[in-house]
């Protein structure tokens, strides 16, 4: 009986979109998912700091192999930025590194003008208190020990920034950005540009890839579903994790062929997406494989197979 249950669990593959509460790490949430589902293979697709809340996409079962693609998706946040001071962590958990200053002379127009200078492809340096590894060590461990080090800047994309609320010394900003963007760094850099300092006091992720808060289930509600045994109702098919990708529908015969790593002819009318890839799905909508177009032979080559 236990073997049958294990086989059933091993066959489960999909996405749980969690509305993470403030106070938990992303790893804490993953552990709760593992415990509640009884499935060891689970992982998130983009860290949310303990102080942040909102959309946390958890891949369960074989779907964890989609992580490299889902993690690279764009993100959207509502950030609360307080002007007038800077901290060593770039958020409210840190120590002030300069005396607070008055920001009454900064208008909403001034704020927005500076804000818009951060839209586009920009270079950003992650916070010293971050999980970035430097010679195998986490930056936050080195920072807590008072060590001196440098973090290499990275290129990110900020697609849009919009001031939603203006209540000095605070402002609420909608941030649409690429994966790898540190909103804490954005708050700090904006404060420096304004000449008054700034730091993040609140952050809520409203979208990750194609999943938004509308798709998210509060963690408390999900934990109740674990207890009741009906958590499956919140499991989203793995094929939807990359729902913006082009898809090809496979016949039962093609499913068997692809499952064994064999190529299938490509329909020239189907244009592949990023990295020349498409989703190969069954007639029932199950994700079978990620397929790469071989332009020389005009065939789809299975790259990752999720069906056996």
Same domain, 108 and 182: yes
Residues 167 and 255 both lie in one domain: no
Asked, for residue 200, whether it belongs to a domain, the answer is: no
Query: What is the C-alpha R_g of the chain?
Result: 22
Would you state the pLDDT for residue 34? 96
Q: Domain check: are 234 and 254 in the same one?
A: no
- 31 and 102 share one domain: no
Claim to verify: residue 117 and residue 189 sit in the same structural domain: yes
User: Which candidate, 3, 84, 13, places its Cα nearest to that of 232?
Assistant: 13
Same domain, 184 and 114: yes
Q: Find the domain containing 132 and state its range.
A: 75-195
Q: Is residue 264 part of a domain?
A: yes
* CATH number where 88 lies: 3.30.2350.10
Residue 203 resides in a domain: no
- State residue 9's pLDDT score: 57
**Residues 126 and 181 both lie in one domain:** yes
Other C-beta atoms closer than 10 Å to the C-beta of 266 total 19
Q: Is residue 59 part of a domain?
A: yes
pLDDT along the chain (308 residues), means of 10: 48 91 95 95 90 95 88 92 95 90 91 98 89 81 80 94 97 96 96 96 95 96 96 92 89 93 90 86 91 92 85
Per DSSP bridges, beta strands 236-237 and 287-294 are unpaired
Tell whether 228 and 182 lie within a shared domain. no
Residue 161 lies in a domain: yes
List the structure tokens of 172.
């609420």
- Give the Å distances, CA to CA, from 28 to 6, 53, 139, 140: 23, 13, 20, 18
Look up the CATH number of the domain holding residue 249: 2.30.130.10
Alpha-carbon distance 100 to 86, whole Å? 8
What CA–CA distances, in Å, run from 102 to 71, 113, 208? Answer: 40, 19, 36
How many domains in the chain? 3
Q: Would you say residue 206 lies in a domain? A: no
Q: Which residues contact 167 (CB under 8 A, 6 or more apart)?
A: none
Q: How far apart are alpha carbons 44 and 60 in whole angstroms?
A: 9
Can you give the pLDDT at residue 1?
A: 44
Could you tell me if residue 204 is inside a domain?
no
Residues 15 and 30 in one domain: yes
Phi-psi category of residue 106: left, alpha or beta, with phi > 0 → left and psi -120 to 50 → alpha: beta
Same domain, 82 and 171: yes
Q: Same domain, yes or no, for 180 and 95?
A: yes
Q: Is the pTM of this model over 0.95?
A: no
**Residues labelled catalytic:** 49
83 and 54 share one domain:
no
């Amino acid at each position: 009986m236990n073997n049958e249950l294990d086989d059933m669990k091993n066959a489960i593959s999909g996405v749980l979109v969690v509305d993470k509460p403030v106070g938990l790490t992303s790893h804490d949430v993953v552990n709760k998912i593992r415990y509640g589902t009884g499935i060891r293979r689970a992982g998130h697709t983009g860290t949310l700091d303990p102080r942040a809340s909102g959309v946390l996409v958890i891949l369960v079962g074989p779907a964890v192999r989609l992580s490299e693609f889902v993690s690279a998706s764009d993100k959207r946040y509502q950030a609360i930025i307080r002007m007038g001071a800077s901290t060593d962590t770039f958020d409210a958990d840190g120590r002030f590194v300069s005396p607070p200053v008055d920001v009454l002379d900064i208008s909403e127009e001034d704020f927005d003008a500076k804000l818009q200078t951060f839209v586009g492809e920009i270079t950003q340096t992650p916070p010293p208190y971050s999980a970035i590894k430097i010679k195998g060590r986490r930056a936050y461990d080195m920072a807590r020990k008072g060590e001196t080090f440098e973090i290499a800047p990275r290129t990110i994309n900020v697609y849009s920034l919009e001031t939603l609320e203006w209540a000095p010394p605070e402002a609420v900003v909608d941030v649409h950005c690429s994966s790898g963007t540190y909103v804490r760094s954005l708050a700090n850099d904006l404060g420096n540009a304004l000449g008054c300092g700034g730091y993040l006091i609140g952050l809520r992720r409203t979208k990750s890839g194609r999943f938004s808060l509308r798709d998210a289930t509060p963690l408390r509600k999900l934990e109740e579903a674990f207890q009741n045994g009906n958590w499956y109702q919140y499991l989203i098919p793995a094929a939807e994790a990359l729902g913006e990708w082009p898809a090809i529908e496979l016949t039962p015969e093609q499913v068997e062929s692809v499952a064994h790593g064999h190529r299938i002819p490509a329909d020239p009318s189907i244009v592949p997406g990023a990295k020349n890839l498409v989703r190969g799905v069954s007639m029932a909508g199950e994700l079978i494989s990620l397929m790469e177009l071989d332009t020389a032979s005009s065939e789809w080559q299975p790259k990752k197979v999720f069906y056996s």
